[in-house]
Structure 1
Amino acid sequence: MQVSTLENERVKLSLLDLSNYKELISIAQEEKLIKYSPSKIDTEADLRAYVQLALDGYYHKAIIPYIVYDKTYASYAGSTRYGLINWNHKTLHIGWTWIGHRFQGIGLNAQIKFLMLQYAFETLHFEKVEFRIDVRNIKSRKAIEKIGATLEGILRKDTLMKDGYRRNTCCYSILKEEWPKIKHTCFKKP
């Protein structure tokens, strides 16, 4: 599967792999970075295993993992991916997104989501993009709602967290026919 680099004036998304993941070690070790994720990335070994798992999914055409480069700060900022890709039904998830604390709240995540949504709908011609978020993660839920995603429902106790807690997961989505309006309203530059 050929992966396109997604890029605009603010951010560059390139394939995350074993040749570049070390750029993210210091970010992955930031306190409470992925508090609401069932993943563990805070040691180099954990991060490598996280990337290897994503690459296994990539080779099975179910995941496309990206490393995030913030052009404003000229620095790697984190990671994101397409996952649970269903090529037959033309649906996929955008998620597994984590960016360093200094890159949060400055519009970088919105730029990441714009590039990924644009590519999913306009190049890959997918019908639906989904987002899954821990019900407790209000900050991420508000960010996804701000970009026009619709809450479809809540999956109860569907994900086992590292500490044994079973989380409830909010399911959001954007449909292909909703994308043109969302693109020109929610992502409109001020």
Structure 2
Amino acid sequence: MKVPTLENEYVKLTLLDLSNYEHLIPIAQQENLIQYSPSKIDTPEDLKAYVQTAVDGYYHKTTIPFIIYDKTKEAYAGSSRFGLINWKNKVLHIGWTWIGKEFQGSGINKHMKFLMLQYAFETLDFDKVEFRIDERNGRSRKAVEKIGGTLEGILRKDTLMQDGFKRSTCCYGILKEEWPNIKATIFSSFK
């Protein structure tokens, strides 16, 4: 499976692997960056293991991990991926997304999500994209709602966090038939 470079004038997404993850070490060490994630990335060793898991998934065709490059700031900004890819049912998740605090609120996340949604629906021809978000993470929930995600339900106490807390997970989805309208309205100025 050849991974394309997804890019526009603001952001560039390329395959995240063990040859480039070190660009993300300073970002991954930012305090509380992924406080709502069950993953641990705040040491170089933890980040390498996190990336290795993503790479393993890539070779098993269940994930496509990306490193995010902010073209306007000329700097690496973070990571995201397609995960839990179900080729038979044509459903995948967009998640495992984290960007450095200096990039948050800049619009880069919306540009990145546009490119990923466009690729999932228009190139891979998938029927549905899902997002799973910690119920407590209001900021991420609002961001997914702003790009057209519909709350489909909440999985109660389904994920064990690093600190032992059992989180509840909000399940959002966008359907292929919803994409043309979302693209024409929410992403009307994007290319």
Q: What TM-score bracket applies, with the shorter chain setting the length? A: over 0.9
The equivalent of 2:66 in structure 1 is 66
Shift of 1:189: 2.6
The equivalent of 1:158 in structure 2 is 158
Q: Distance in 2 between matches of 1:82 and 1:20?
A: 18
Q: Distance in 2 between matches of 1:133 and 1:123?
A: 25
The C-alpha deviation readout for 1:70-109, integer Å capped at 9, x for no partner, is: 0000000000000000001000000000000010011000
The equivalent of 1:22 in structure 2 is 22
One-letter identity of the residue aligned with 2:110: A
The equivalent of 2:7 in structure 1 is 7
Shift of 1:11: 0.3
Structure 1 vs Structure 2 CA RMSD: 0.8
Q: Distance in 2 between matches of 1:107 and 1:85?
A: 26
The equivalent of 1:128 in structure 2 is 128
The equivalent of 1:102 in structure 2 is 102
Q: Distance in 2 between matches of 1:114 and 1:43?
A: 30
Q: Distance in 2 between matches of 1:27 and 1:189?
A: 29
The C-alpha deviation readout for 1:117-153, integer Å capped at 9, x for no partner, is: 0000000000000000000000000000000010000
Shift of 1:47: 0.2
Q: Distance in 1 between matches of 2:78 and 2:188?
A: 24
Identical-pair percentage: 73
Shift of 1:188: 2.2
Q: Distance in 2 between matches of 1:185 and 1:34?
A: 30
1:118 aligns to 2:118 (yes or no): yes
Report runs of 4+ in structure 1 exceeding 2 Å deviation. Answer: none
The equivalent of 2:137 in structure 1 is 137
One-letter identity of the residue aligned with 1:131: F
